[in-house]
Structure formats: structure tokens, C-alpha cells
Amino acid sequence: MNGSRERLMPGAAARRAAAERRGRRAETWAGWLLRLKGYRVVARRWRGRAGEIDLIARRGRTLAMVEVKARADLTTAAGSLGAKGQARIARAASEYLLGRPDLAGLEVRFDVVLASPGRLPRHLPDAWRPRAP
């Protein structure tokens, strides 16, 4: 039994590595899309105790916390960010802002960029708002 489990691990590791590469590629495309729309990416893959924020971008007085979702199609990508993920990102955003008092006066928004193979990424500004505690 243990031998079969070990044989499965290399395939699982390869799938995780491929998913990681797809995610990084999608984040790169998302960053370029945001730049073309006039945003300045101030952080990529910011990681705190609460979680990770894929991209943090600023345009004027708006600071966007951007989650990038790469899936086989845009519909699946759009449905892949649930309430737990949103809460995790909101906690991470609060943590990020605590360390950046210079950004305190900005409007914070939660955006999503959807990516799928063969399609340009799609930016959804103000895609969701954190739930009140």
C-alpha cells in the first residue's frame, strides 16, 4: 500500500508544479493588463500571516487587492473564489495596510482577474466586498 502511494506522489507533484507555473503566468498577464489600464503594481504575491495577495495595484486614490484565478474557462475561474477565500484575502489586506500607514487614505477595493488558455485575461473591478464581522 505504501509503495503505491509513493508511486502516485511524483504525478501529484508534477500537477502541482504545472498549476504553479500556470498561476504565475496568469499573474504576469494580469499585471500587464492592469498596467495597460493605468495601474501601478506595488506588490506581487505579497504574503503575510493571514494569507497571500496575488497583486496589489494602485491607480490614483484606489488601491486594488487583486486575486488572479486561472482555470480552463472563464466561467470556472469566476466561480472559484468562495467566501473563505474572500475572507482570507480581506484579512491579508488588513495586515498589509497595517504595515503601510502611507496608504491609509486610499480607497481599498477587491478585484479579480480571470484567466483561461487562449483568452485575454478579464479584469473585474470591485468584484466583491468583505463581509462585516
Span 49-78, pLDDT tens digits: 999 999 999 999 999 999 999 998 888 888
Quote the CA–CA distance of 10 and 113 in Å, as a whole number: 31
Q: Is the predicted pLDDT of residue 111 greater than 90, yes or no?
A: yes
Cell digits of residue 124: 473585474
Please enumerate in sequence order all residues whose Cβ is within 8 A of that of 52, keeping only pairs 6 or more positions apart, or say none.
Answer: 45, 46, 92
Q: Are strands 107-115 and 62-70 parallel, antiparallel or unpaired?
A: parallel
Predicted confidence (pLDDT) per residue in 9-43, tens digit: 578 888 888 888 888 999 999 999 999 999 999 99
Locus of grid cell 493571514: 50
Domains of the chain: 2-128 (3.40.1350.10)
Give φ, ψ of 112 to 5 degrees: -130, 140
| CA atoms within 13 A of residue 70's CA, in its CB half-sphere | 18
What single letter denotes the amino acid at residue 2? N
Quote the CA–CA distance of 8 and 12 in Å, as a whole number: 6
